[in-house]
A and B are shown apart, each in its own frame.
Chain A
């Protein structure tokens, strides 16, 4: 097993425009240490664009510095799981997961890589999908397969864009627990876009709230998930509570008038 990472991510003044429309207007964020970080905000505020920028899929101005200790991390250390996928690939679920190791693959796939693929599929409870065509899977199953692919690549930075949006409660919990466990074991960090604020509070050590293409607030769930901030950002009146296990809960009550 490789050494634990000591991750740090500095996002400096990231700006993205599509034509005249400015989506990200200067995002600044500093994340330090392993664990899950949530990005929340209303639709269209640039959360997915920020993730794609970090993944290197979207061109942007500004700077991102990802380091493990004193060393800068190459792009291969970043894995990205998109919001939803409408891919109609003829690859099987197994083959799709296998691509997480693409940089190490030669003409013959080694046995230890095959074992690793099965292992990660077992952890996500998707081994039964092994021989099914990716195109024939449901939205939720596709998300799990892509998640397995991302985990197989053993990233130092895991970017998850609404990974639970198409999953049932069981798989939501399993996926987020697994992401948390992976980060804890490896020292990696994961940034997750979420709409369920209670879930964000349950699993993430810090939450960044995006508003109008900028970071509106960033901090621990208890600091960020306040009635006032939720009203300011989401235009929703919410009751903030505390679960029996001590986690912050957010119950949306009414649209702010």
Chain B
């Protein structure tokens, strides 16, 4: 028996392991990077010590940097997984977690919360996140209901465009009504920032990712069929509309949780799956594993850059991912790897 296929898969597993190692190294690099004068050796000692309130550095590493790094991991992986799934179910290489308007809905939710105080939870930053989550999930449910009878890709994308325009208009209205201070808060949220990362938020985000990842791994072959085309998948006996609805719900949940937590971090959901696909192809058994790893790598790298670009300040990570994402997307387009 020829071993060509087995060899190809071995190479793919090798790439996945290699990227996982890069991701782990970046986790440590992100933990060791910051404006305090903590040396790498001190940081390693504090990591080995475990969380305690012994020193200022313990607090910085365990209470400030660790939640941010874990947030990078959870959000990067979630957005990349959601992006890969969206590209497959919408059969559109330019699809991303934000294609169907979830990000716009969350953005409006955040702006509404800043201006009106909705949903009136006393803690300000939770208030904004909860409002964003309500609108993101509400919009997902609305699109899901609208597409229940006709879940073809064109209808879904068009509904997504309508939703995006609707919430963009509503958000503009909120910005118009906002005071200068509120406007600044809305803009900061929209940039996508890790500065409000918390342990609880990171745990929710990672738990959500793990749950959806396990659920998605059960549909890898069906998704691979769908990546080979709607008609092909149907003729292979796949219930494409059911599959599309299931995966849409999964990716919506991932996106809603991520966006409502850290704001709209662009391009990861678009670029990470493409990058992963260029290494492991469209076999979703490998793509669903490598995409989240690539997403986490990109966000961790962006986080490190955001910390060292302007010492003493953390530039919103969304700005970095947008800058890197645009250049990378252009590179992919010019190399015709889409």
Interfacial residues, chain A to chain B (CB-CB below 8 A)? 55-57, 75-76, 78-80, 82, 85, 87, 89-92, 94-96, 98-100, 102-103, 105, 107, 109, 111, 114-115, 117-118, 127, 130-131, 133-134, 146, 149, 153
What would 14 A/B residue contacts be, using CB atoms closer than 8 Å? A82-B231, A85-B229, A90-B277, A90-B281, A91-B282, A92-B281, A95-B281, A95-B283, A99-B225, A102-B221, A102-B236, A102-B238, A149-B236, A153-B236
Distance between Cα atoms of A149 and B1 in the complex (Å): 19
Q: Please pick, from B4, B220, B222, B227, the residue contacting A91 in the complex, using a CB distance under 8 A.
A: B227
Distance between Cα atoms of A94 and B2 in the complex (Å): 12
Distance between Cα atoms of A28 and B61 in the complex (Å): 75
User: Smallest distance from the beta carbon of B295 to chain A beta carbons, Å?
Assistant: 18
Q: Mark B214-234, 1 if CB is under 8 A from A, else 0.
A: 000100111011011101101
Q: Which residues of B contact A96 (CB under 8 A)?
A: 228
Docked-complex contact A56 and B234, CB < 8 angstroms: yes
| Chain A CB within 10 Å, residue with most, of B8, B220, B231, B232 | B232
Docked-complex contact B228 and A131, CB < 8 angstroms: no
Q: Which residues of A contact B5 (CB under 8 A)?
A: 94-95, 98, 109, 114, 117, 130
Distance between Cα atoms of A79 and B221 in the complex (Å): 18
Distance between Cα atoms of A92 and B11 in the complex (Å): 14
Q: Write the chain B residue with the least CB distance to A106.
A: B221
A-B contact count (CB 8 A): 85
User: Smallest distance from the beta carbon of B143 to chain A beta carbons, Å?
Assistant: 23
Q: Please pick, from B236, B238, B282, the residue contacting A100 in the complex, using a CB distance under 8 A.
A: B236
| Main SS class of interface, B | helix
Contact A105:B221 (CB < 8 A) given known A87-B228, A95-B281, A130-B5 = yes
Contact A99:B229 (CB < 8 A) given known A57-B234, A76-B237, A91-B282 = no
Distance between Cα atoms of A153 and B1 in the complex (Å): 20
User: Smallest distance from the beta carbon of A163 to chain B beta carbons, Å?
Assistant: 14
Q: Which residues of A contact B220 (CB under 8 A)?
A: 107
Distance between Cα atoms of A109 and B5 in the complex (Å): 10
Distance between Cα atoms of A90 and B277 in the complex (Å): 8
Q: Mark B234-256, 1 if CB is under 8 A from A, else 0.
A: 11111000000000000000000
Q: Please pick, from B229, B236, B285, the residue contacting A89 in the complex, using a CB distance under 8 A.
A: B229
Q: Please pick, from B224, B234, B277, the residue contacting A99 in the complex, using a CB distance under 8 A.
A: B224
Distance between Cα atoms of A229 and B2 in the complex (Å): 51
Q: Write the chain A residue with the least CB distance to B235.
A: A80
Interfacial residues, chain B to chain A (CB-CB below 8 A)? 1-2, 4-6, 8, 217, 220-222, 224-225, 227-229, 231-232, 234-238, 277, 281-283, 285
Docked-complex contact A89 and B237, CB < 8 angstroms: no
Distance between Cα atoms of A229 and B282 in the complex (Å): 48
Docked-complex contact A79 and B235, CB < 8 angstroms: yes
Docked-complex contact B237 and A103, CB < 8 angstroms: yes
Q: Which residues of A contact B4 (CB under 8 A)?
A: 94, 130-131
Docked-complex contact B6 and A114, CB < 8 angstroms: yes
Q: Which residues of B contact A80 (CB under 8 A)?
A: 235
Contact A91:B236 (CB < 8 A) given known A105-B221, A130-B5 = no
Q: Which residues of B contact A130 (CB under 8 A)?
A: 2, 4-5
User: Smallest distance from the beta carbon of A133 to chain B beta carbons, Å?
Assistant: 8
Q: Write the chain B residue with the least CB distance to A74.
A: B237
Q: Which residues of B contact A75 (CB under 8 A)?
A: 237
Distance between Cα atoms of A153 and B238 in the complex (Å): 14
Distance between Cα atoms of A92 and B283 in the complex (Å): 9
Q: Please pick, from A85, A87, A95, A127, the residue contacting B224 in the complex, using a CB distance under 8 A.
A: A95
Given contacts A55-B235, A56-B234, A92-B8, 9 further A-B contacts (CB under 8 A): A80-B235, A89-B229, A89-B282, A90-B282, A95-B224, A95-B281, A95-B282, A114-B6, A134-B228
Q: Write the chain B residue with the least CB distance to A104.
A: B221
User: Smallest distance from the beta carbon of A213 to chain B beta carbons, Å?
Assistant: 22
Docked-complex contact A131 and B282, CB < 8 angstroms: no
Q: Write the chain B residue with the least CB distance to A150.
A: B235
Q: Which residues of A contact B285 (CB under 8 A)?
A: 107
Q: Which residues of B contact A76 (CB under 8 A)?
A: 237
Docked-complex contact A57 and B236, CB < 8 angstroms: no
Docked-complex contact A91 and B229, CB < 8 angstroms: no
Closest 9 CB pairs of A and B: A80-B235, A90-B282, A90-B281, A87-B229, A91-B282, A89-B228, A105-B221, A57-B234, A76-B237
Distance between Cα atoms of A105 and B237 in the complex (Å): 13
Q: Which residues of A contact B217 (CB under 8 A)?
A: 107
Q: Which residues of B contact A107 (CB under 8 A)?
A: 217, 220, 285
Contact A57:B231 (CB < 8 A) given known A102-B222, A102-B236 = yes
